[in-house]
Structure 1
């Protein structure tokens, strides 16, 4: 029994090493960038997010979150269409129309009450995956956080679906982006204490698993094969 346990442990460590080499060949560089982002977040972004969350009334904070979620529906619809998901495009487009009108520019999620629940979302990285583009190595980007070689340029492509990117008022554009960034950081406050052990590995693995989950539309791949052969044991 001890021998079997030792073999399983050795195989687990070996497979983990192969996994790291496969998905994260730039780990040393990524770790340095992760440390930079962590310091920036610790001394600047997180304190502001905590203060924002403490001062902002919950209904208003929820309304701002709804507003940016509603804007994201434009990106969802564009990528739905590029992926040939026309039914999903109608669903996401319907949410955008309802919330942009009855929901007062998206401050209220009226569509949810009408039976149109918010989807997991689509982005151009997922669209490239559907088109057959591999995810490539894992990347930790400055300020922007975890990504992959496929997803990194996709963030730029998705920016074209942001209505505020076409604003001529630079101050308004930057203010909206700052509030969006702050709102995103606030949404992660509850996760700060969840990671244990090596936080870099935790963030990397969660990001990659979440990305693959979205690419597969929630389908979970079975990496352990068919267990029917073990029914007799």
Structure 2
């Protein structure tokens, strides 16, 4: 059985959603070090444009999404909040199974499928997570990772309005991620939009306690951490050399699993 490489946090991000600055915060939990290189990053040739979009996303997050997430976290009992997170994570197993097959990982596809079936039935539609307690843990996969496994270059780093950090390759995979996510096929608009809003609030609320890990230039920190994590996922846990990150920027494998 394959082991996790931080699937829970990656699923909290739920790449098919427009997550404003929440998507940027993926990197926060993966790296607790304060060392971020001030040198130009060769992966970020569009830095001037990206910083402007980052500032736009940051304003939206600071004055709209973050306060709403704080309110949601304050009024929602912890067991219920965990149940909401489990519910949306469970929906992501379908995407993981699909992309695992495309990547030639039938074992991971089988584990993801088992997780979905077990949690959807014994876990009360995914509110509970008996599959993890039974030892079934799959590596989270999306189509951006699939393209990476297929050898498609990651391309320049780009910050997308409302969504956050990405690369050209990751952004190319978003439409496929969208159509392999079950909420896309909920026909009732009110139900679909309500679930999307709840998912967004829950995803942002999971990151509230991790914001104090940001150090120095927030843009550079988030960019470097996000790129490191993305490469970590594509390479199934092997980061390789990141020359734009200085020696003090340490990778903590345990932090990815929290």
- TM > 0.5: yes
The one-character-per-residue Cα deviations of 1:173-215 (angstroms, maximum 9, x if unpaired) are 1111111111111111122111111000011001100000000
- The answer for the alignment partner of 1:215 in structure 2 is 234
Shift of 1:70: 0.3
Shift of 1:222: 4.8
1:49 lines up with 2:69 in the alignment? yes
- The answer for the alignment partner of 2:52 in structure 1 is 32
Farther off after superposition, 180-189 or 52-61: 180-189
Q: What TM-score comes out, normalization by structure 2 length?
A: 0.77
1:182 lines up with 2:238 in the alignment? no
Shift of 1:223: 6.5
Unaligned runs of 5+ in 1: 1-12, 225-233
Alignment of 1:34-113 (within 5 A): 34-113=54-133
SS in structure 2 opposite 1:90? helix
1:136 lines up with 2:155 in the alignment? yes
Mapped to 1, the partners of 2:77 and 2:139 lie a distance apart of 26
Shift of 1:172: 1.1
Q: Is the Cα contact below 8 Å between 2:108 and 2:139 reproduced in 1? A: no
SS in structure 2 opposite 1:192? helix
Structure with higher helix content = 1
Unaligned runs of 5+ in 2: 1-36, 244-258
Aligned length: 208
Mapped to 1, the partners of 2:242 and 2:59 lie a distance apart of 36
> Over alpha carbons, which structure has the higher Rg?
1
Q: Is the Cα contact below 8 Å between 2:154 and 2:167 reproduced in 1? A: yes
Question: Which structure would you say has the larger RCO, counting Cα contacts within 8 Å and 6 or more residues apart?
Answer: 2
Mapped to 1, the partners of 2:206 and 2:91 lie a distance apart of 17
- The answer for the alignment partner of 2:25 in structure 1 is none
- The answer for the alignment partner of 1:229 in structure 2 is none
Mapped to 1, the partners of 2:239 and 2:225 lie a distance apart of 14
- The answer for the alignment partner of 2:166 in structure 1 is 147
> What CA RMSD, in Å, does the superposition of the two structures yield over aligned residues?
1.7
Segments of 4+ in structure 1 off by > 3 A? none
Mapped to 2, the partners of 1:187 and 1:111 lie a distance apart of 21
